Amino acid sequence: MLPSFQTASHTMQPNPAEIERYLAEDIGDGDLTAKIVPEAIQASATVITREGMVVCGTAWFDAVFERLSPQLAIEWLCSDGDWAAADTVLCRLSGPARALLTGERTALNLLQTLSATASVAREYANAVAGTGCKVLDTRKTLPGLRLAQKYAVQCGGCFNHRIGLFDAILIKENHILAAGSIAEAVRAARSQANVPVEVEVENLYEFEQALLAKPDRVMLDNFSLPDLVVAVSRNQGQVELEASGNITLQNIRSVAETGVDFISIGALTKNIKAVDLSMRIDMRIG
């Protein structure tokens, strides 16, 4: 059996050290503005989405407030992977007002970014539904949020490519030039570790060379639709085939229908626009 590409855990939890860094970025030596509010004041809050979205990042949101105050309670009305229409109340919070005010921006930043990633992934997953082709993410992630975004991709219905440079080998043009040939590059890769080996090719001639070298997967970079059809026909199931390059929501289904196994899309994590969320805080309790 060929080694498998790793995936982020679909039940992934945020790293406490990362949460500390996210909060430190915003709070520094202390939230000076929150100190205006008396420490004893309690409050309640609701988080609302202003646009349709796939929910993702609830554990990150929770972790921010857990770090700030164990007395703060959060009730979620939805779960990661759920679709939420515009103006939906996502969760309710209650507890110390200072903790709510201090954690609001960091918690919302994480929730809106991961939900945006999941929402984009859902669009691409829906676009290829029924074709048997899987849409993959790439390493084009936000620094510090790679595993979180890869988790979000799964919540949206797409799949993970390699996590980083350590869990799979992707041989590109410069690697081939340095090694001398595709065959030599694959041979050298096999000698490094028992991980999946993929070769990126840019035309059908290189594709034929890659087939002879027997990698686990071949990436067909910027192939035309006719050339993708030819590659699938010549492959006859010998290796996994992944299409990549200049693929959009408008043309992805046509690419999937050529018979490739995977399509990798950098836009799943790179070109996202944060979901518009709002937290309404009510100071009238306590």
Return the active site residues.
105, 140, 172, 200, 221
The string over 90-128, giving b where at least 16 C-beta atoms fall within 10 Å of a residue's C-beta and e elsewhere, is bbebbbbbbbbbbbbebbbbbbbbbbbbbbbbbbbbebb
What contacts 24+ positions apart, CB below 8 Å, involve 166-169?
A: 167/5, 167/6, 167/195, 168/5, 168/6, 168/195, 168/196, 168/197, 168/198, 169/193, 169/195, 169/196, 169/197, 169/198
User: Is residue 283 within 8 Å of residue 44, measured between CB atoms?
Assistant: no
Query: Do the beta carbons of residue 68 and residue 103 sit within 8 Å?
Result: yes
